[in-house]
Structure 1
Amino acid sequence: MTHSTVVGAAARDERVSAAERAYRHLKQAVLAQVYPGGHLVSEGEIAEATGVSRTPVREALLRLETEGLVKLYPKRGALIRPVSAREITDVIEARRLVELHAAERVWPRRAELCAGLAARLDEMRRAHAAGDVTALMAADRAFHATVVEAAGNEILTELYHRLRDRQIRMGEAGFRLSPGWAEVVLTEHAAQLAALRGDDRQAWLGSVAAHIDNAATVLRTLR
């Protein structure tokens, strides 16, 4: 391997690292609503925030465009795509299909599930008491994921995790902009856990379905 080859490989590695840094910065900002839907962000703005040149920024923006988070406008920058009513409907429908199926599947193993859900609920309560919305949302996602993963279907689990970015973005709006939504979520998750512990199958399935429906209602009112 020649010196020029080594230098070229190092440069490529640096470009990948810089592009990844720009990608993570912008994606996190979009998901956390730092850049809300409808906001136009320039390449220069991102380059300055991340300390990289415009070339890796363009690579990051192209990647985010394929994920449906931004729309590129040459010489202007990138428009952060707003969450549409259709996207909310599609995500809720996908969640309902996966989570209700998982709720059915885990019922025979409910005793094993209780400890994990109780731990996630405790994490949510501590985060809420501390006013840490980010930690609250992470624990909430973990509560839902615990049920899906316990169902034992790897393909459905993968599908569910692929919804993660969209759920984070929508969850930010729900928890930060809807007064009282956190308390509602805590109450509904507590009801789910109580149904499992009380061996009440209908209450368990009903509480899972009601929670998803209530989330859909909140998200639609925030548009």
Structure 2
Amino acid sequence: MTHPSAATTVTSAAERAYRHLKRSILEQLYPGGQLVSEGEIAEVTGVSRTPVREALLRLEAEGLVRLYPKRGALIRPVSAREITDVIEARRLVELHAAERVWPRRAALRADLAARLAEMRAAHAAGDLTTLMAADRAFHATVVDAAGNEILAELYQRLRDRQLRMGEASFRLSPGWAEVALTEHAAQLAALDGDDPQRWLDTVAAHIDNAATVLRTLR
């Protein structure tokens, strides 16, 4: 009978702490500007401080926290600059992808319709976490369908920052969920037509409207 090594145990504990912290940050359970201590996190996750420290180092490298020795970790607020940078990156990637997928729009439409149905069901159930995940999947489906693995990887790296921003927009702007559903439906309608510019315009308008909501919430 084999037993897990001490190194494996520590790694598992660090991974558990990392996932808990990341989920809590992305879902705004730890809002931007809050200072959390290693001891507090260790108590909540049931692990020692060493794996907590490892988890915090990973999160600092990802730009989600800033570490202060002997004090803890500051959850980094979403800045105006970060919003602008993420929106600009989204525009570049998503509009390029939208242009590339137009010739294959029939197959794409079925996948997007499934994601939109998931969004509607989650919204009706009041399940914000699932709604947000389905919303991100809707956008990622277009990017993945473009067939550029490097751009798809870049877009995936934007995911965490988008999720944190998306959480704020869905939670703090009461009407945004309905607007997002309407705009996604408009994108599907554009795919049913024969005007590629209309399709590109609906994609761009949705990104720009999301940017407006995010800036309003700051």
Find the aligned partners of 2:186 and 2:168 in 1 and give their Cα distance.
24
Report the CA distance between 1:199 and its aligned residue.
2.0
- Aligned AA (1:209): A
Q: How many residues align?
A: 217
Report the Cα distance in structure 1 between the residues aligned to 2:117 and 2:13, rounded to whole angstroms: 38
1:112 matched to 2:107: yes
Alpha-carbon distance in 2 for matches of 1:61, 1:150: 34
Whole-Å separation in 1 of the counterparts to 2:53 and 2:182: 44
Shift of 1:200: 2.3
Match of 1:188 among 177, 183, 189: 183
Given the alignment, which residue of 135, 152, 156 partners 1:157?
152
Structure 2 residue runs without a partner (length 5+): none
Matches within 5 A, 1:12-23: 12-23=7-18
- Paired with 1:120 and 1:60, the residues of 2 have a C-alpha distance of 32
Give the distance between the partners of 2:170 and 2:100, measured in 1 at CA: 29
Q: Which residue of 2 is the match for residue 132 of structure 1?
A: 127
SS at match of 2:5: helix
The equivalent of 2:75 in structure 1 is: 80
Q: 2:28 aligns with which of 30, 33, 57?
A: 33
2:139 counterpart (118, 139, 144): 144
Q: Quote the RMSD (CA, aligned, Å).
A: 1.2
SS of aligned partner of 2:120: helix
Q: Deviations over 1:50-89 (max 9, x none)?
A: 0001111111111111111111111111110001111111
Question: What is the CA–CA distance in structure 1 between the aligned matches of 2:22 and 2:121, rounded to whole Å?
Answer: 27
Q: Would you say 1:62 and 2:52 are equivalent positions?
A: no
- 1:47 is matched with 42
The match for 1:177 is 172
- What amino acid does structure 1 have at the position aligned with 2:170? F
- The letter for the 2-side match of 1:27 is K
2:217 maps to which residue?
222
Rg larger in 1 or in 2? 1
Taking the aligned partners of 1:55 and 1:202, their CA distance within structure 2 comes to 54
Write the distance in 2 (CA, Å) between the matches of 1:120 and 1:71: 35
Residue 212 of structure 1 pairs with residue 207 of structure 2: yes
Unaligned runs of 5+ in 1: 1-5
After the TM superposition, which parts of structure 1 deviate over 3 Å for at least 4 consecutive aligned residues?
Answer: none
